[in-house]
Chain A
């Protein structure tokens, strides 16, 4: 009996261990879940209270790294980058469901409480820009011409893309439409964040990472486009903004190199090649010169005694 007990324990441990090591998978539809409302200071304050009661025991104070390191899997610091990489929906799912040593808060906390905690945790992320699932009527009147505008919102540290529709000279903001933002680069564009829906003001915000390399002036060329081109048409705009990291790398063809043009070939190879060719051909022409002398000698009269043959 003891033997069986031992095997069961080993098996349980193995399962726990393997589940601890594998990454925490969140179903796609849960990942995309969004708060219906925009986080407010009141929500953040309420979230802070909930956090200090329910979460601090394991996670410590956010941003201070005071989590309980002895636990497996490690609870981690909620202010850490790894934590903040989670989408709002993923955080909601993980808090609700729990796993291994992380308990499920599905029945302990209300949905509003969980969103408050998320709002509080997001306050530790300087580059976080919230996206909400507000119900927006996308009632676009027929004949409306859509246009996009890109600008940089200094206070939010985010790129704002605005979708505007104009109908008979009248301009309206259009909400609820998916927008894609990309930075231009060699060999295909770089996606900046995921597709974001425009809010009531027709705006969608893409949090901006200033470490993105730009050109020698820090310029970056941004392209915004409507995600569902088949529904809304191919609406697209491009703008160059000086918001990226100034990059001043010398071009690869600046110095003499094997791969460069002839004028910028390594000196030793130019000298070696031309030296070899000139030397050999000098002697070839010298031989031809000798033959010219042979030819000239042939014109001189010669006695029979002198002749070799």
Chain B
């Protein structure tokens, strides 16, 4: 286990370091891309300023539908963030080595989406300046406090899981990036933590990462199970379900895999890393996506078929609204384009090639976002409370332009964090890739 001695192939290391470090650093294209994102984000922040000034009245949320697009978006962000755990935690602990080149990309997504998830929930608050009251006056009985706790904890663990394996890489990069600006080298020096490639340092690093990888699994399970409990502890139709925890968790794996495939496809082409992010890797990722889709499909089957068979009074209203009513188009898009079709076509190898897999992942990710909308909003529109003589806009939810802008802003923020990390640090773990093959399997377990 931790006794294992690391052996690094020096020639391989030189080659990998050269390829991986080439795209690092801010070039003109990158600056333009960030400028574009910044301008777009400013517009979205302006929308939030309006919301902050006027209050939540500028959103489509009213007395009856008090959870709208923000909560749906929050659930989506938390779901996507879980991919860090799936890749490093579950697949890594099982001893699969093909995940090596994508572990850092997965952690990057985890860090970015977990960080923004916290902000998304703040955007849903009517009085965000009272955020600290959650910690001062929070009740341990409330799933909201649990959620705040686990999101924070998961963010910390994911950040550590991203930063620790980066340490040797930064030490490698320091010696090789002669043209990098001074501040960048200084940052590398600080973050590389006096790294001298001492074997004992490697031993300690293995120990620390192994602990984190074990720790991230229950934490990630907790974060999404608690997020599902925010809904499932209510007795409303559509949320009142005992399988909500695993249903959310497996959904998160699908969402996260979609996101990671899109990111890997992007880096493969734009960072010219085809020899590392190669076709066999996409084939493996495709198979993993297929697997999580099947599991998620199974939970969907349970979640919808059982109430649809019984058709209890209030469930029936909910189910009809989803299957045939005004949410039907979105519901069937999510189920068919975002889950069933990907699940079927991924069985054939040609669909697991980079380009088809990228397209499938786009559908999966978009479907996943709308699926969260389907989970949150239709239930709110059918409250158990007797609703009489209420204006229609109180009962039926329609997101406003400001709400949509704030939501888009959160997505832009996530992309910005990933963009910064991907240009500041190498996206593929250099030292892990250069490690001698025969030793790799025993590294973690």
A interface residues, Cβ below 8 angstroms from B: 258-262, 265-266, 269-270, 273-274, 276-277, 280-281, 283-284, 286-287, 290-291, 293-300, 302, 306-309
Q: Mark B210-230, 1 if CB is under 8 A from A, else 0.
A: 011001001100100000000
8 Å CB contact of A307 from B146, B194, B196: B196
Contact assessment for B198 and A306 in the assembled complex, using a CB-CB cutoff below 8 Å: yes
With A273-B146, A308-B8, A309-B172 already in contact, the answer to whether A297 and B201 are too (CB < 8 A) is yes
A297 and B139 within 8 A (CB): no
Q: Which residues of B contact A280 (CB under 8 A)?
A: 153, 157, 215, 218-219
A266 to B215: give the CA distance in the assembly, Å. 27
Q: Does B390 contact A (CB under 8 A)?
A: no
Beyond A280-B215, A281-B153, A286-B211, 15 additional contacts (C-beta under 8 Å) are A261-B139, A262-B139, A262-B140, A284-B160, A287-B211, A287-B212, A294-B205, A295-B194, A297-B194, A298-B195, A302-B198, A308-B8, A309-B13, A309-B168, A309-B197
CB < 8 Å neighbour of A273 from B13, B140, B164: B140
Give the number of chain B interface residues (Cβ < 8 Å).
41
**A131 and B141 alpha carbons, distance in the complex (Å):** 56
- Determine which of A261, A266, A291, A302 lies in contact with B208 in the assembled complex, contact meaning CB atoms within 8 Å: A291
Nearest Cβ on chain A to B205's Cβ, whole angstroms: 7
Give, as a whole number of angstroms, the nearest-CB distance from B168 to chain A.
8
The answer on a CB contact under 8 Å between A308 and B222 is no
Chain A residues near B384 (CB-CB < 8 A)? none
Give CA–CA (A309, B156) in the complex, Å: 29
Instruction: Across the interface, name the chain B residue whose C-beta is closest to A299.
Output: B194
What are the residues of chain B within 8 A of A291 when measuring CB–CB? 164, 193, 204, 208
Which of A261, A287, A293, A300 has the most chain B CB atoms inside 10 A of its CB? A287
Q: Would you give the shortest CB distance from B439 to chain A, in whole angstroms?
A: 12
**Closest residue on chain B to residue A273 by CB atoms:** B140
B193 and A298 contact, CB distance less than 8 A: yes
- Which residue of chain B is the closest to A289 with respect to CB atoms? B208
In the complex the two chains form, what is the Cα distance from A306 to B7 in whole Å?
12
- Interface presence of B10 (CB below 8 A): yes
What residue in chain B is nearest A283 (Cβ atoms)? B215
Q: Does B199 contact A (CB under 8 A)?
A: yes
**What chain A residues lie within 8 Å of B194 (beta carbons)?**
294-299
- Offer 10 A-B interface pairs, CB within 8 angstroms, sorted by A: A265-B140, A265-B141, A270-B140, A274-B140, A280-B219, A283-B215, A284-B156, A294-B194, A306-B199, A309-B13
CA of A100 to CA of B276, assembled, Å: 98
A258 to chain B: closest residue by CB? B141
Q: Which residues of the other chain, B, contact A298 by a CB distance below 8 angstroms?
A: 193-196, 198, 201
B201 with A287: CB separation less than 8 A: no
CB proximity of B11 to chain A, nearest CB, Å: 12
Give Cα distance in the complex from A169 to B153, angstroms. Answer: 78
Q: Which of B176-217 contact A (CB under 8 A)?
A: 193-202, 204-205, 207-208, 211-212, 215
How many Å lie between the Cα of A287 and that of B163 in the bound state? 12
When distances are taken between beta carbons in the complex, the residues of chain A under 8 Å from B138 are 262
Please, which residues of chain B bring their CB within 8 A of the CB of A307?
196-198
In the complex, the chain A residue whose C-beta lies closest to that of B219 is A280
Q: Which of chain B's residues 242-264 have a Cβ closer than 8 Å to chain A?
A: none
Name the distance in Å between A80's Cβ and chain B's nearest Cβ: 36
CB contact under 8 A between A287 and B199, given known A258-B141, A265-B140, A298-B193: no
Tell me, in angstroms, the Cα distance from A300 to B194 when the chains sit together. 10
Which among A262, A283, A294 has the greatest number of chain B C-beta atoms within 10 A? A294
Residue of B nearest to A276 (CB): B222
Q: Check B6–A308 contact: CB distance below 8 A.
A: yes
A290 to B146, CA, bound (A): 28
- The verdict on A294 contacting B193 (CB below 8 Å), with A308-B8, A309-B431 known, is yes
Interfacial chain A residues near B200, Cβ < 8 Å:
297
The verdict on B149 contacting chain A, using a C-beta distance below 8 Å, is: yes
Write the nearest CB–CB distance from A186 to chain B, whole angstroms.
19
Residues of A contacting B211 in the complex (Cβ-Cβ under 8 angstroms): 283, 286-287, 290
Closest to B17 in A: A309
Q: Indicate if the CB atoms of B208 and A290 lie closer than 8 Å.
A: yes
Are B199's CB and A308's CB within 8 A? yes
Q: Which 3 A-B pairs have the closest CB atoms?
A: A298-B194, A290-B208, A308-B197
Q: Provide the residues of chain A in CB contact with B204, threshold 8 Å.
A: 290-291, 293-294, 297
A262-B139, A266-B141, A309-B10 as given contacts; A294 in contact with B201, CB under 8 Å? yes
Q: How far is the CB of A90 from chain B (nearest CB, A)?
A: 33
Task: Report the Cα distance A299→B207, complex, angstroms.
Answer: 20
Distance in angstroms between the alpha carbons of A266 and B141 in the assembled complex: 8
Q: How far is the CA of A290 from the CA of B149 in the complex (A)?
A: 24
Closest chain-A Cβ to B51's Cβ sits at a distance in Å of: 31
Residues of A within 8 Å of B197, CB to CB, are: 302, 307-309
Interface positions, chain B 153-171, Cβ under 8 Å from A, are 153, 156-157, 160, 164, 167-168
Q: What A residues does B164 contact at CB under 8 A? A: 287, 291
Chain A residue numbers with a CB within 8 Å of B141 are 258-260, 262, 265-266, 269
Asked if residues B199 and A269 are in contact (CB atoms below 8 Å), the reply is no
A309 adjacent to B198 (CB under 8 Å): no
Most buried by B among A298, A306, A309: A309
Bound together, the chains give a CA A271 to CA B279 distance in angstroms of 49
* A290 shortest CB reach to chain B, Å: 4
A307–B141 Cα distance when bound, in Å, is 52
Task: Tell me the smallest distance from the CB of B426 to a CB of chain A, in Å.
Answer: 15
Chain B residue with minimal CB distance to A293?
B204
A232 to chain B, nearest CB (A): 35
Chain B residue contacts of A266, Cβ below 8 A: 141
